[in-house]
Chains A and B, each alone.
Chain A
Amino acid sequence: AQSVTQLGSHVSVSEGALVLLRCNYSSSVPPYLFWYVQYPNQGLQLLLKYTSAATLVKGINGFEAEFKKSETSFHLTKPSAHMSDAAEYFCAVSRNSGNTPLVFGKGTRLSVIA
């Protein structure tokens, strides 16, 4: 079975500081990994995904994530936080094996301080 662990339910950074949101996964086969963002009163929006091509994945809004198989991690980073980045971030894992559900982590709420 697959699972995702997001370390830290709440992360707070200063505007302009590095954003680092942690995600570790568990999967018995090579996974597909996703980061979604949820702004207040909205649904989830895809930031980026890893589907076994390049291990460093670039997404929207300046975010990127690196797939590290040895560490079973897929951490999300952004060099410089902006106030508009304040939202809930979800890591999710899937695999290419028919009807596999997308398993989500519990989410990390990012606050950006001016």
Chain B
Amino acid sequence: ETGVTQTPRHLVMGMTNKKSLKCEQHLGHNAMYWYKQSAKKPLELMFVYNFKEQTENNSVPSRFSPECPNSSHLFLHLHTLQPEDSALYLCASSQDRTSGRDTQYFGPGTRLTVL
């Protein structure tokens, strides 16, 4: 596998379920990101990890819980979600969070539907 991979690609869950999204990057990068992409809204940055340390949490509800065990893997744990959380969740990575010129490389996303 090359680039950034995400599993699962599609997920349907009830509001009381607990599930996790997984992201893996094969690019040797040090920064990883979670974005939420909803219809007719700009991409929303949710969390940022740089060298495995969380550097940003953009006022994301606690029902979303990120985990970064190493620089190559990023998880998003989901529990007690709401229907408005249905969206495409994108993972991205870049060489270094502190360089604004770095390109972010995106995975294909997980399409989440909350019933």
**B-binding residues in A (CB < 8 A):** 9, 32, 34, 36, 41-46, 49, 51, 90, 94-107
> Does residue B59 face the partner (Cβ distance < 8 Å to A)?
no
Are B42 and A106 in contact, with the CB atoms below 8 A?
yes
B: number of interface residues (CB 8 Å): 25
A interface: dominant SS? loop
Closest to A44 in B: B106
Are A49 and B101 in contact, with the CB atoms below 8 A?
yes
Are A43 and B106 in contact, with the CB atoms below 8 A?
yes
A-B contact pairs, 11 of them (CB 8 A): A32-B100, A41-B108, A43-B4, A43-B6, A44-B92, A46-B104, A49-B103, A51-B101, A94-B100, A99-B48, A102-B104
B interface: dominant SS? loop
**A-binding residues in B (CB < 8 A):** 4, 6, 40-43, 45, 48, 50, 55-56, 90, 92, 97-101, 103-109
Determine how close the nearest CB of chain A comes to the CB of B68; give it in whole angstroms. 16
